[in-house]
Amino acid sequence: MSTLNVDKVDPSTGTALELGTSGDTINIPSGVTIANAGTATGFGITQTSFLPSAQPIFYNGDANVSQRGDSTGITNANSGYYGPDRYKFNEDGTMAAVLSISQETLTSGNAWDDGFEKALKYDVTTADASPNADSYARITQRFEKGDLALFKKGTSNAETYTLAFWVKATKTGTQIVELMDQVNTRHCCASYTISVTNTWEHKVLNFAADTSGALGAGTGLGMEVNFVLEAGTNYTSGTLATAWASQTAANIAVGQVNNFDSTSNNFHITGIQLEVGTYTSSDLPPFRHESYGENLRRCQRYYQTVGGVAGTANSSTTGYWAGNYIVNMRATPTGTLSNTSMMINNGTNNITGSGCTLNFYNSDEAGFFIGIDGFNTMGGNQAIVFRYPDAHYLELTAEL
């Protein structure tokens, strides 16, 4: 075999350069990187499909960030955010199951071998063997309209979607994922199969382009991805919506197994990526691992805690604080106190309130000015500070 060492190869005439002839195999050694200047076309690399350094579309796909921590006792009417950031437990109807939701640390298995150290885990602690007809439970991630501009949804140039992920479930059989357009109430679903119980499997799902229903721009809710976990007959009695259509409940989860039918059941997921274009397991772009700091900052746009902030007491009962958020939030957040017995320090003593209440004044997505009532012995005109991180802090939420 001959070796040619050159820095650049140009065509002898014209602008076309031919490598080999029909039937030849051109081998590219392992470890070689093919870089695209941003305009190369014709060999499967385009600006929309080759984005190795761009931030991922899916948030916290490796489940590394978990600001809220683990939760237990999650059941009917408890829709909300638990465990790893940006994953909402979403439940409609009258679910009987009780769940623990946590960030799992991986130490072995196929997902671990593929570079993933954390996962989202659902553990069934009370079973729901026969779901009510109106029960519909899923893991949801919601996206801003602007997050999805690359898909050009609702235009004649709309792009297809590829969703890939690592999943491990006790329950074998058919599982459903729904893409839900919240602007135009349209959806498209795909099924996948858990082949082996309690074993990490990699899935790649393709969804069609949608030339109807533009999402628009901005920071409002555009679309959500729903990983179905349990569904009653109101959601399984139709025909699975494998093409984009106006959402029909009966067509969402046809064939879905019940992941909650036994206390032996668990459901784990990680390595989730949403890509522009149609891919298979053989040509899927690599998962874009972010640093923990980058991942955390993206998640803090939707949820963060603030404490250790200096403020002023202008009376014995009320304190005032002003400050900037760690990162700008998606919108003006709602705030809650970590507990109603907030503890502050005036430089001399710790002072614990009782029945503390929070008031927001002139706050926006960049910063806050708040008042907290419920203290008795502060004294006026003195500096005070949250006793942070001793479970006394402000929780800020701007989730979709």
Number of H helices, E strands in the chain: 2, 23
How many angstroms separate the CA atoms of 188 and 183, rounded?
14
DSSP 3-state of 306: strand
According to the model, what pLDDT value does residue 170 have? 98
How many angstroms separate the CA atoms of 5 and 28, rounded?
15
According to the model, what pLDDT value does residue 34 have? 60
Cα Rg, the chain, nearest whole Å:
25
According to the model, what pLDDT value does residue 52 have? 46
Domains, in order of start, for the chain? 71-299 (2.60.120), 301-397 (2.60.40)
373-378 contacts at long range (C-beta below 8 A, 24 or more positions apart): 373/317, 373/318, 374/317, 374/340, 374/342, 375/313, 375/316, 375/317, 375/318, 375/319, 375/344, 375/351, 376/316, 376/317, 377/316, 377/351, 378/313, 378/315, 378/316, 378/317, 378/319, 378/344, 378/346, 378/351
pLDDT tens track of the chain, all 400 residues? 666 666 667 777 766 667 666 656 666 665 555 655 555 555 544 444 444 447 899 999 999 999 999 999 999 999 999 999 999 999 999 999 999 999 999 999 999 999 999 999 999 999 999 999 999 999 999 999 999 999 999 999 999 999 999 999 999 999 999 999 999 999 999 999 999 999 999 999 999 999 999 999 999 999 999 999 999 999 999 999 999 999 999 999 999 999 999 999 999 999 999 999 999 999 999 999 999 999 999 999 999 998 877 888 877 888 898 989 999 999 999 999 988 888 888 778 888 888 999 998 888 999 999 999 998 877 767 788 776 656 778 899 999 9
According to the model, what pLDDT value does residue 382 have? 76
According to the model, what pLDDT value does residue 15 have? 67
User: Phi first, then psi: what are they for 17, rounded to 5°?
Assistant: -120, 125
Question: Which DSSP state fits 398?
Answer: -
Prior bond to 286 cis, omega within 30? no
How many angstroms separate the CA atoms of 137 and 259, rounded?
10
Q: What is the pTM of this model?
A: 0.87
Do residues 165 and 194 make contact, with C-beta atoms less than 8 angstroms apart? no
According to the model, what pLDDT value does residue 347 have? 78
- Identify the CA nearest to 278 among candidates 188, 163, 178, 162: 162
Beta bridge partners of 101: 71, 122
Strand (E) or helix (H) holding 267 = strand 266-276
